[in-house]
Chain A
Amino acid sequence: MTITEDRPSDAATPEIGRSRARKEDQRLITGRTRWTDNIQLPGMLHLAMVRSPFAHATVTAINTDEARKAPGVVGVITGADIKDVQGAVANAWPLNGEQKTPNHLPVVVDHVACAGEIVAVVAARTAAEARDAAELVDVDYDELPAVLDLKEAVKDEVLAHPDLGTNTSAVWTLDSAAQGSGTDVEDEIAAARSDGVVIEREFRQQRLIPAFMEPRSTVCDPTGEQMTVWSSTQVPHILRFLVAATTGIPESKVRIIAPDVGGGFGGKLQTTPEEFATIAVARRLGKPCKYTETRSESLLSGHHGRDQWQKLTLSARKDGTVTGLKVELLADLGAYVGVVGGGVPVLGAWMFNSIYKFAAYHFTVRTLLTNKTWVDAYRGAGRPEATFAIERMMDELAAELGRDPLEVREQNWITHGEFPFTTVAGMTYDSGNYEAATAKAKELFGYDELRAEQKHRRESNDPVQLGIGISTFTEMCGLAPSRILGALNYGAGGWESASIRMLATGKVEVLTGVSPHGQGHETAWSQIVADRLGVPFEDVEVLHGDTQISSKGMDTYGSRSLVVGAEAVVRAADKVIEKAKVVAAHLLEASVDDIEFTGGRFGVKGTDKGVTMPEVALATWTGHNLPDGVEPSLDADATFDPDNFSFPHGTHLCAMEVDTETGATTMRKYVCVDDIGNIINPLIVEGQVHGGLVQGIAQALWEGAEYDDQGTLVTGSFVDYTLPTSADTISFVTDHTTSPSTYTTLGTKGVGEAGAIASTPAVVNAIVDAVRAFGVDDILMPCTPERVWKAIQKGRSVPGEGERDAQPHFDEGVPNQDPGAATEGSQA
């Protein structure tokens, strides 16, 4: 990575493409800013939550007497107290009309469906007093049997929500034959069974926790005409809508502010029980209230991510041409269907076929309720799962054929000349160049040299084996065309909104409907607007995250901010220019048609006459000399609804060393060449790629949320939920190729999730590649040293395992089988 110094603006060099250090860094890094927990209001009370220790229980009695008497306590509120006013935690994306969606109350009234659910809220003058009093609330529970395991849940023997009669929330299918985008996958598999290759595997996407840096916090001030809520959220606009929709408070009476927010990774795109509880208690007591969670509460009660079993059947001809892919998923939703919880696996439905040209494709997901923390979007949401599955399968196919895995991929991928390309899943990829990214990655990686070293280590029986993992990923982001969302039964649109305000002094305010939480939007948007309007970077102020200021928006997730949100900004800027042109022409006594706008100056063609944007802004503000009928304002709004998704892609190559004596793995080299279209700020992109890579690598190697058989989260602190730090990672080699998006002005594609989507299979493929010679063809994630070592022992103990028949058929009627049973046991 190159550190590039901040350069002052000079009109000659475009801002777009500059590695500007982020405007927001100083205040964010020093913490001298408006983190929600920094907010203090006069008379503000502090809340502490009383949470259920049981995974599944009926609340039979709550005695709050002792707590009420404790020093500083102003109120102890139970679910029954606010039953009719607390609103509900909503699901915005029912997969279909039959979906079972348990009612999700912020503070439970009688039924606890997972450990950590809130049963009472204590309000006190200080946070310490609230915490002390919370210990005194006496709750009686009748424990109910809990269903914790996904495959147990399928059987419907123990129910997470007995009143629903089943644990299945929904079943959703996409089939290429049925929708006319390809052939029938069963035919292709049957053909391959008789004269081809069939690869069958089952993979586990373990449960992950989106461990954002800033724990969640909410302040609600119920006094005044508009209730004001500050919250550490990714989605202030969605929160406003859902507060209004579920509590009955008129939307016009609700102002939501997401001040500076310290990370989210999807974990803050939820409207949370804690937000609703804080609002309900503040309104009931008529006082401002603050709730800030502890890290333990965050790990337990913020939504979790992933958690699927993936059963995959891939058919190919003997020459390596893939003919079909069948995907059957079980997805654990946890105790409730989150805001897009059920939809997350479905977001992967179009991506299992990835960059390849398969004839047939089938996808089914069964979403299931269990008595664990609810699951929703986590960086990548659906696409990491899909990418993992297909990229692992392509390696398995190559291994079965005894061919180089890159070569097998190339044989099957969409070639450069074939764009735009409509896939077997029905998406139209607008642009891309898999050959270029792969060629560059191979060279940076030293692919042939590392393959030679691998061969040497194998032949010399080195205790440290080397493996090479590949992930040629694509993903769909830039959520989303509203019409497609409508067709999918999603509860909102996917457009984005922006406004530009031209101030009298020539400064520019940009209002954006997306809601940054660490991405650096203020910097990138300033660069874009500086170029567009020809004003200095420093003169652009980006305002966001307050429904009273940037009143419309769909917020930030799904790598949509730049692709959709900044496109709205560009369109608003273009409207400003059009309005300013009219004023400039008038001031210059020229015809509008003769005005040219370049470098921030309106000039008259063929003359040296001109006025600058700030001069036009001032003239407009005074209103002294405007053309007849022209309003004294250059301000403009734009709302952009994309026509398509954005399809970034890239080639990631990873070399892993495996110590066969201990199972320890060490990353040797990681190269990624991403194609994310045009780049606004290379430094920010680098940061997004690095962070994403580490999160994806962490899924492969380190992270995993584990419960005991009582439904208690065992990985409830950072002692056991092993997040990596910089000491655990190596220096990544990152580079780019560029295939601009064809349907946006800026030609950008999303990058926020790319690293996390691509890296997981690259790492696991590398580990499996390193030990495949021992008869290993899969290792459960996280690939702990113990699992790697045991896989080697198991492979070694089965004679001929290395060359075994690669067509084990899934047992009839079994929903999924467990390839990792031998090592899973140790996780109890």
Chain B
Amino acid sequence: MIPAQFDYLAPTSVADAVAALAEHGDEAKVLAGGQSLLPILRMRLNAPGVVIDLGRIPELQGVSEDGDHLVIGAMTTYAAVLASEAVTTHAALLSKAIATVADPQIRHRGTVGGALVHADPAGDVGAPALALGAELVIAGADGSTRTVAAEDFFEDLFATAVGEGELLTQIRIPKHTGWGAHYEKFVRVSHQWSIVGVAATVRSEGGSIAEARVGLTNMGSTPLRARSVEEALVGQPATDEAVRAAVASVNDGTNPPSDLNGDSDYRKHLATVLTRRAVLAAAGA
């Protein structure tokens, strides 16, 4: 498994990285944790002339707080997110989902930014980012930045709003302090991508659900948000019966794939079961 030859650049600032991207155009590929990119290079499914490693850029690292937002640098590893108390406190759903990604080795290499830009519909980070209403900060060639809502970020299979010459720099997540959260990941073996995953986070008030956010993994070409379920859950008690009824519409707008792990109809069936379970667990029921 030897990749085709490429040149390697390791800029130390976002400005330099963006400049390098501008210089090399579509010859260049950005390297984050490499957990998706390196297998692609090694299987020779892609052969960029230049690889730009973001690993030496301090400003892309780490978790911080900015008022009612959490700010996660694009190059923050899964392991660092899991170790962050701020994330556990204010965006528990993200921690819960990330804890299910692959194995510890991969979680020490793979980054949140890399996962979002890679945009594998079976990846576990998109659905919680969507459910939590994350905003993605993108740096452009001219030194400008723009912010894109998660809803507009995922465009298609492996396609996002990050354009040529651009970098994802930050993930801004509105704090969901005090919300219960659960990520229900359905796999056949432990180190697998989600066959279906459901990310649910719930704010409870006086024994019933006051607000709910639900994101779906691998139920279409992008992560999806189950808005009709979110609405139906408002005001419902966290009982099996009530939640079962509220999640019935979960498949509105889904278009899951068929593969060795299950056909599309089976995935739709799973989505109803897993959404109920995720919501009940998030509500602490």
Contacts and interface: CB of A to CB of B under 8 A. Distances in A.
Contacts of B189: 702, 722-725, 728
Interface in A131-159: 131-132, 135
Contacts of A789: 266, 269
Contacts of A701: 188
A827 interface: yes
A720 B122 CA distance: 13
B191 A725 contact: yes
A503 to B, nearest CB: 44
A4 interface: no
B285 interface: no
A724 to B, nearest CB: 5
B262 interface: yes
Q: How large is the interface on B (under 10, 10 to 19, 20 to 34, 35 or more residues)?
A: 20 to 34
A826 interface: yes
B158 to A, nearest CB: 15
A789 B188 CA distance: 13
Given A296-B43, A662-B270, A702-B188, A720 B260 contact: yes
B188 A722 contact: yes
Contacts of B262: 784-786, 826
Nearest to B274: A662
Contacts of A295: 1
A827 B258 CA distance: 9
B44 interface: yes
B271 to A, nearest CB: 11
Interface string A712-753: 001101011011110110000000000000000000000000
A127 interface: yes
A664 interface: yes
Contacts of A125: none
Interface in A665-716: 701-702, 704, 706, 714-715
Contact of A786 (B1, B2, B5, B263): B263
A784 B191 contact: no
A128 interface: yes
Contact of A664 (B1, B44, B186, B191): B186
A128 B2 contact: yes
Counting chain A residues whose Cβ lies within 8 A of the other chain, the interface size class is 20 to 34
A722 B192 contact: yes
A790 interface: yes
Contacts of A724: 189-190
Interface string B180-191: 000000101111
A200 B96 CA distance: 48
B157 interface: no
A728 B263 contact: no
B266 A728 contact: no
Q: Which of A717, A785, A786 has the most CB of B within 10 A?
A: A786
A714 B259 CA distance: 10
Contacts of A715: 260
Interface in B153-198: 186, 188-193, 195
A662 B188 contact: no
A662 B2 CA distance: 40
A548 interface: no
A662 B43 contact: no
A827 B262 CA distance: 8
Nearest to B266: A786
A66 to B, nearest CB: 15
Contacts of B188: 701-702, 722, 784-785
Given A132-B5, A295-B1, A826-B266, A662 B260 contact: no
B190 to A, nearest CB: 4
A609 B134 CA distance: 88
Interface in A367-397: none
A664 B5 CA distance: 44
Contacts of B261: 784, 786
A789 B266 CA distance: 9
B4 interface: yes
A622 interface: no
Nearest to B258: A826
Interface in A766-805: 784-786, 789-790
Which among B2, B195, B269, B273 has the greatest number of chain A C-beta atoms within 10 A?
B2
A661 interface: yes
Contacts of A702: 188-189
A294 interface: yes
A768 B270 CA distance: 21
A715 B261 CA distance: 11
Contacts of A784: 188, 260-262
A789 B262 CA distance: 10
B1 A296 contact: yes
Nearest to B193: A719
Nearest to B4: A132
A706 B260 contact: yes
Contacts of B258: 826
B191 A727 contact: yes
Task: From A128, A706, A714, A826, name the one whose CB has the most chain B CB atoms within 10 angstroms.
Answer: A826
Contacts of B260: 704, 706, 714-715, 720, 784, 827
A789 B267 CA distance: 11
B5 A128 contact: yes
B160 to A, nearest CB: 21
Contacts of B263: 786, 826
Given A128-B2, A827-B260, A727 B190 contact: yes
Contacts of B273: 661-662
A605 B261 CA distance: 73
A717 B39 CA distance: 11
Interface in B228-285: 258, 260-263, 266, 269-270, 273-274
Interface string B191-208: 111010000000000000
A135 B262 CA distance: 35
Nearest to A720: B260
Nearest to A663: B266
Nearest to A724: B189
A711 B19 CA distance: 45
Nearest to A294: B1
A405 to B, nearest CB: 27
Interface in A293-331: 294-296
A750 B263 CA distance: 42
A704 B258 CA distance: 17
A131 B47 CA distance: 13
Given A132-B5, A714-B260, A715-B260, A790 B191 contact: no
B59 to A, nearest CB: 33
A820 to B, nearest CB: 14
A701 B189 CA distance: 9
Contacts of B269: 789
**The 5 A-B residue pairs with the shortest CB-CB distance in the complex, in nearest-first order:** A727-B190, A786-B262, A826-B263, A294-B1, A722-B189
7 contacts: A701-B188, A702-B189, A722-B188, A727-B103, A727-B191, A784-B188, A789-B269
Given A294-B1, A826-B266, 6 more contacts: A127-B2, A715-B260, A720-B260, A725-B190, A789-B266, A826-B263
Interface of B: 1-2, 4-5, 43-44, 103, 186, 188-193, 195, 258, 260-263, 266, 269-270, 273-274
Interface of A: 127-128, 131-132, 135, 294-296, 661-662, 664, 701-702, 704, 706, 714-715, 717, 719-720, 722-725, 727-728, 784-786, 789-790, 826-827
